[in-house]
Structure 1
Amino acid sequence: MQDLLLESPGFPEFLLGLATISASLLGSDGTVTCTITVERDGGAATVASSTEEGRRLDETQYSFGDGPCLTAARQQRLVLIADLENDERWSDYLEAALQEGVRSVLAVPIPTDAFSHAGLNCYAGTVGAFTAETVGLLEQHAAAMSRVLRIALRLHGTDIHPEHLRAALKSRAVVDAAVSLIMLQQHGGREDALQILQLAAKSSNRRMHDIATDIVRGAGLPGAEQDER
Structure 2
Amino acid sequence: MGSGTGAPPTPEQLQDLLLESPGFTDFLLGLTTISATFLGSSEPMLCAITVERDGTPATVASSGADARRLDEKQYAFDDGPCLTALRHGTSVLVPDVANDDRWEHYASAVSGEGIKAVLAVPIATDPGAAAALNCYARTSGVFDEATVAEVERHAASISRILRLALKVHPPEIYPEHLRSALKSRAIVDAAVALIMIQNRCSRERAMELLHLAARATDTRLHTIATDILQGASLPSPKPPA
Q: TM-score, normalised by structure 1?
A: 0.65
Q: Does 1:69 align with 2:82?
A: yes
What is the match of residue 133 of structure 2? 120
Q: Are 1:2 and 2:11 an aligned pair?
A: no
Structure 1 position 22, deviation (Å): 0.9
| Shift >4 Å, 4+ stretches | none
Higher helix share: 1
Report whether the alignment pairs 1:80 with 2:90: no
Is the Cα contact below 8 Å between 1:107 and 1:120 reproduced in 2? yes
Residue ranges of structure 2 left out of the alignment (5+ in a row): 1-13, 179-241
- Displacement of 1:42 in angstroms is 5.5
For this pair of structures, how many residues does the alignment match?
Answer: 163
Cα separation, 2, equivalents of 1:32 and 1:54: 9
Task: Tell me what 1:139 maps to.
Answer: 152
2:45 counterpart residue number: 32
| 1:44 Cα deviation after fit | 4.8
Larger deviation: 36-45 or 14-23?
A: 36-45
Distance in structure 1 (CA, Å) of the matches to 2:43 and 2:173:
26
Is 2:26 the counterpart of 1:13? yes
- Percent of residue pairs identical: 58
Aligned-pair distance for 1:82? 1.0
* Pick aligned residue for 2:61 from 40, 48, 51: 48
CA RMSD of aligned residues (A): 2.1
Relative contact order, higher structure (CA 8 A, sep 6+):
1
**Unmatched 5+ stretches in structure 1:** 164-229
| Aligned partners of 1:16 and 1:49 also within 8 Å | yes
What secondary structure is seen at the aligned counterpart in 1 of 2:124? strand
How far apart, CA to CA, are the structure 1 residues paired with 2:135 and 2:173?
Answer: 21
Asked whether the equivalents of residues 32 and 125 of structure 1 are also in contact (C-alpha less than 8 Å), the reply is no
Q: 1:102 is paired with a residue of what secondary structure?
A: coil
Which position in structure 2 is the counterpart of 1:151?
164
Deviation sequence 1:25-65 (CA, Å, 0-9, x none): 22244462110111223555343111111111111111111
State how far apart, in whole Å, the 2-side matches of 1:8 and 1:37 are: 17
Q: Deviations over 1:100-156 (max 9, x none)?
A: 111100000011122111100001111121121111111111111111101101111
Contact 1:23 1:50 in 2 (8 A): yes
Q: Residue 60 in 1 paired to residue 69 in 2?
A: no
Deviations 1:176-226 (A, max 9, x none): xxxxxxxxxxxxxxxxxxxxxxxxxxxxxxxxxxxxxxxxxxxxxxxxxxx
The residue that corresponds to 2:192 in the other structure is none
Higher Rg: 2
